[in-house]
Structure 1
Amino acid sequence: MRALVLLRAFSRAKAHTLLFSSHCARRHCHAPAKRERAKGPRILGPDLPDIWRSPPLDSTHPPPPLIDANQEINPTIIDGNSIAEEIRSRTAEEVHQMKDAVKKIPGLAVILVGQRRDSQTYVRYKIKACHEVGIRSLTAELPEDCTEDEVVDSVSRFNEDPSVHGILVQLPLPQHMNEERILGAISLEKDVDGFHPLNVGNLAMRGREPLFIPCAARACIELLTRTGIELMGKHVAVIGRSKVVGLPTTLLLQRHHATVSSVHAFTKNPQDITRQADIVISAAGVANLVRGSWLKRGAVVIDVGTNPVEDPSSEHGYHLTGDVCFKEAVKVASAITPVPGGVGPVTIAMLLSNTLDSAKQIYGLNC
């Protein structure tokens, strides 16, 4: 009898569900298309690329504004090489201790797609840095016209390799590839670049800790704090909002209780914003975008830009220059990073540190 009552109740509930589903289906069929898109671009905003225009470097550009022309500024040139050396030295010592303790060493796998000269140079630097501190490096080089699945397969193989503790996909990837899919294929525990959505999400939420902080963002904070520059309450303008540098740097600065302005390619009169900032961090990827007139007197400048400029006299056929016009900014800034020799070497040192931390987590060593 009890079974019969339950069966009848279930039948009535099922019929009600089907009626409700049918009613909802009719409502959606007759709803205007505009309502169906309500959760799309109208709320999230259009997905537009940041395209900056390179400024002309000419003598007609207005000189940097000076509050007190009689007061000379002797800017601190922030030496990224020496800071990176300190971090690498500590990492090498811990790698040696790990080898003694568990007979294992950290391993970093790098995936390079295509023949971009700057990407090849960056990969060479990273492999060389691994060898210097005792980290094992592996490289998978794929042609420009390879398929997305081939890159994902390379990621999967490194995910399954127990001797690999960090996986790095060198960006940018060829345009025909879905960057999000490839980066999302990296195991969270091996995402030493810190680009996995869960790592970025945990960085954004106070009270949570990401497994890894993106290397360039971590490098910016290291350079500032090791130079004795206070962040709490300071106005920081971050130029650029890429997932590699701009976005994670903004999130990390907020963790340090800075007041952050995000400047991007659609910002109206960006120089008016940067001129109010105590600290300017530029990661737009445009050579000489930030002129002396963009800075207030005494500002601190962190130049993340590493832009290849053709130079036949150079060994590799090009030289690197920053986003900031150094010869103008150095007349105004109280401290500034050079390019090269500023953020770049510290970013690589952070990559080594993240790889070591990953191995320590996997082997259950104290982090």
Structure 2
Amino acid sequence: MTQGTARVLSGPPAAAALLDEARRRAGRLPAVPHLALVRVGEDPASVSYVRGKAKKAAEVGLSSHVHALPDTTTQADLLALIDQLNADPAVSGILVQLPLPAHLDPAPALLAVHPAKDVDGLHPANTGALWNGHPGLRPCTPAGIMALLAHHGVPVRGVRAVVVGRSALVGRPLAGLLLNADATVTLAHGATPDLGQVTREADLLIVAAGQAHLITPDMIKPGATVVDVGINRVPTEDGKGRLTGDVHPGAAQVAGALTPVPGGVGPMTVAQLLMNTVIAAERQHDQLLTSEVPGEHVR
């Protein structure tokens, strides 16, 4: 690969393809998949994110409802709403928007969501299914990354993959997805000695460390595919700041293919959320059909 000619792995066309698939599959179901969005408080970023998810759901042909709870909501009230949504057969998927107000513990709330409706893919039952290679709902950003690679024809099977970052949201589940796709995976992190020695072994390098420009060009194997998950705001002279990734821009001179920041992984997360909602609806429909199959009753 000639220097400076890294192929751009753009997110918007891959996200559009994933949303088209979600739209087609939703259209084959007898009922419109429904996404319940739970938001507590009026954090401006959360309000914006939830509004964007509801808008995108409508574009794909899904229904959604924002359950906007006040800042004064108690843990018991939040769990009661989740229980109600779990029991509602019209609800396909449930998403609890984070962060919650400081007085609420997110762990019990996420654990309360039924695994079959856990479109965030974060319930321990879905995490266990992932690591055991069993079907289940997958975390949105890692699954979206896999869809991005597939859309752009980037091979995964048999490649040497290095994931930098071990968060429960991205790094750990992504390592599991790559293993399930028959990659040879190394999971690196802040305590990894000589990080560059590890990353230079990667044919596929995925960086989700949350540190601007952590990966410099000399840490990348020439011709490698680099997926930059990081979103960092760095200062600029005008005081507005600009968004940049965990990978130094000079990586384009070394890598064979590279995701941009912004415009790379970002659009895939919401697209995968809606695909997860459709998958959840499909499985709930299949389970309903199975439960309705006539048979002998034990008396």
Normalised by the shorter chain, which TM-score bucket? 0.7 to 0.9
Is 1:221 matched with 2:146?
Answer: yes
Equivalent position SS for 2:206: strand
Contact 2:18–2:147 (Cα < 8 Å) also in 1: no
- Pick aligned residue for 2:266 from 338, 344, 353: 344
Change (3 A) 1:193 1:75: same
State the AA in 1 paired with 2:257: A
Q: Which has the larger radius of gyration?
A: 1
Separation in structure 2 between the aligned mates of residue 321 and residue 122 of structure 1, nearest angstrom: 20
1:256 to partner: Cα distance = 1.4
Instruction: Work out whether 1:209 is the aligned partner of 2:131.
Output: no
Which fold has the larger relative contact order, with Cα–Cα distance below 8 Å and residues 6 or more apart in sequence?
A: 2
Q: Quote the residue 1:135 is aligned against.
A: 62
- Give the equivalent residue in structure 2 for 1:15: none
Are positions 1:295 and 2:226 aligned together? no
SS at match of 2:65: strand
Distance 2:76 2:235 in 1: 33
Shift of 1:176: 4.7
Change in Cα spacing, 1:335 to 1:97, as seen in structure 2 (3 Å) is: same
**Is 2:245 aligned against 1:322?**
yes
Q: Secondary structure at the match of 2:275?
A: helix
**Structure 1 residues 146 and 255: alpha-carbon distance in aligned structure 2, compared to 1, 3 A threshold:** same
Match of 1:158 in 2: 85
Q: Distance in 2 between matches of 1:118 and 1:300?
A: 32
Distance 1:118 1:319, change over 3 A: farther
Q: TM-score, normalised by structure 1?
A: 0.71
Match of 2:174 in 1: 249
For 1:357, what is the secondary structure of its paired residue?
helix
CA RMSD of aligned residues (A): 2.6
- What is the alpha-carbon distance in structure 1 between the residues aligned to residue 53 and residue 241 of structure 2? 19
The equivalent residue for 2:283 is 361
Question: In 1, distance between residues paired with 2:237 and 2:54?
Answer: 25
Residue aligned with 2:161, SS: strand
Q: What is the correspondence of 1:1-367 to structure 2 with a 5 Å cutoff?
A: 71-98=2-29, 102=30, 104-143=31-70, 146-174=73-101, 176-206=103-133, 208-210=134-136, 212-308=137-233, 320-325=243-248, 327-364=249-286
Confirm or deny: 8 A CA contact 2:165 2:189 kept in the other structure: yes
- SS of 1:158 mapped into structure 2: helix
TM-score, L = length of structure 2: 0.86
- The alpha-carbon distance between structure 1 residues 72 and 328, as it changes in their structure 2 partners (threshold 3 A), is closer
Look up the equivalent residue of 2:214 and give its one-letter code: L
2:270 and 2:159 mapped to 1: Cα distance? 27
Letter in 2 for 1:193: D
Where structure 1 has 5 or more consecutive residues not aligned to the other structure, the ranges are 1-67
Q: Deviations over 1:100-146 (max 9, x none)?
A: xx2x2111112233454444433233122101011111112345564
For the structure 1 residues 345 and 270, does the alpha-carbon distance in structure 2 shift closer, same or farther, using more than 3 Å as the test? same
Runs of 5+ in structure 2 lacking a partner?
290-299
Asked whether the equivalents of residues 118 and 308 of structure 1 are also in contact (C-alpha less than 8 Å), the reply is no
- The alpha carbon displacement at 1:265 in A equals 2.1
Count of equivalent residues: 288
Alpha-carbon distance in 1 for matches of 2:103, 2:187: 29
Percent identity over the alignment is 38
Amino acid paired to 2:267 = P
